[in-house]
Structure 1
């Protein structure tokens, strides 16, 4: 992606993609999320020395990683200043499974399991009783101690997308705005996705390729599945916040007062 096409929230880093400042987003009460406090990203292992210098003024306190053990082992998070590195897998069932490269995925035929229905099920399951998001939101409970924070997975789109939804809704951002932020990864990951499709074309016939591309593109219904699951289990986001994370109305106001301006 060229510099001219970068959304303003996308940091101009050379060794990490989809690294975005979640600040500047307007809430329902007219305030905005402060810039320089909350960030979302893809994997960070490629951050360059120049990138580190760029991030230094941010003063990150926490790097939160949703990846499983082997994902993180193959592409470990670098030390970013004095930030604490925390890794709790969003998909706990995959924690001890071997990592499968994209080439292995396509060559073995495992890609046939990567469908829109699979993703819908994943999005519906991840927000409910998930130790990773419980820990993330536990950090948000004490923002003065743990922010600035960057949370990330491999592409910064699915696991990170759900985490971003939880943070932004807690801060009072309207759901439609949260959805816009989620779908922005289709823009910020356009080159990454195209490289993936180019690699996949060596293994897939045209109909398989179309199905894979269709499933891979972030869609409203994916994040809607997460929100629907929350409402199904807890009736409202407010009840979900208190039951899952211990964030009641008073604590939510305190978090908002710290993170909004």
Structure 2
């Protein structure tokens, strides 16, 4: 299904991979070397930055909230334009493992996975945020773009799912792409520890594991909420996010081969 290296090693970050190579329902493929996704970039080393530059990325869409960006800013890189597009603007939502230290009250009656089910439902409401990311693609025809959050899983995964859906990649492949995060869980955990996000032992280990892992029910909850509100993903792209037929065709023209 996918004739590419699943993960790209970039020193100082994790969960870094591209979407190129996926086959669409019409027999086209997503162009290689154009669409990248990752976790937190704040600890990129000089060597990592050189690898990053070698990929030719021209735009970075940082999907984190302002507090995360302030604490762990992306490095500035010559020739790369940075766009801050927050996808979650709810202070009561647990976004990533580091948030658990601040939401002990949420853990008392929480079930493992429940917080990320809620997160994926809430993501659907940020149509303006998703529109801004698609606009970056439209304003930079065919230029390589990277989008990321902290773990590179749910906020990042939600946009990847929408973009691949627009490009007519089958749902089972989109789910497979989401689950690839599970191949690098050790790297993700080490990355969070490196920025001081260690969790107290009193937090239920099952809740912690559920927050790190990519579980199929999380990405399906995103699609379920979209289909509940808009009937289809195509309707959501058009009537929720506001993409026109011409814009959808342009994105396909830019990023399919």
Match of 1:18 among 9, 15, 23: 15
Instruction: Report whether the alignment pairs 1:243 with 2:242.
Output: no
Instruction: Report whether the alignment pairs 1:192 with 2:188.
Output: yes
Could you give the per-residue CA deviations for residues 114-152 of structure 1, whole angstroms, max 9, x where no partner exists?
Answer: 74222212211212243321211222334417x311100
Instruction: Report whether the alignment pairs 1:33 with 2:30.
Output: yes
Residues 143, 255 of structure 1: 8 Å contact kept: no
Distance 1:159 1:33, change over 3 A: same
Residue 33 of structure 1 aligns to a residue in which SS? coil
State the alpha-carbon separation in 2 of the partners of residues 20 and 225 from structure 1.
23
Partner of 2:166: 170
Distance 1:258 1:66, change over 3 A: same
Instruction: Report whether the alignment pairs 1:183 with 2:179.
Output: yes
Residues 64, 152 of structure 1: 8 Å contact kept: yes
Residues 97, 212 of structure 2: 8 Å contact kept: no
TM-score normalized by the length of structure 1: 0.83
Instruction: Report whether the alignment pairs 1:202 with 2:223.
Output: no
Shift of 1:51: 1.6
Distance 1:133 1:103, change over 3 A: closer
Instruction: Report whether the alignment pairs 1:83 with 2:80.
Output: yes
Distance 1:195 1:247, change over 3 A: closer
Shift of 1:231: 1.2
Structure 2: gaps spanning 5 or more residues? none
Shift of 1:190: 3.3
Residue 40 of structure 1 aligns to a residue in which SS? strand
Match of 1:230 among 226, 231, 255: 226
Equivalent pairs counted in the alignment come to 248
Instruction: Give the alignment of 1:1-261 within 5 angstroms.
Output: 8-94=5-91, 101=98, 104-105=101-102, 108=104, 111-112=107-108, 113=110, 115-144=112-141, 147-193=143-189, 199-200=198-199, 202-204=201-203, 208-214=204-210, 216-261=212-257
Is the deviation greater in 47-56 or in 245-254?
A: 245-254
State the alpha-carbon separation in 2 of the partners of residues 215 and 156 from structure 1.
12
State the alpha-carbon separation in 2 of the partners of residues 167 and 212 from structure 1.
29
Shift of 1:15: 0.7
Shift of 1:235: 1.3
Q: Which runs of 4+ in 1 moved over 6 A?
A: 194-198
Alpha carbon RMSD of aligned pairs, Å? Answer: 2.9
Distance 1:236 1:101, change over 3 A: closer
Distance 1:10 1:166, change over 3 A: same
Residues 105, 111 of structure 1: 8 Å contact kept: no
Residue 147 of structure 2 aligns to a residue in which SS? strand
Shift of 1:194: 7.3
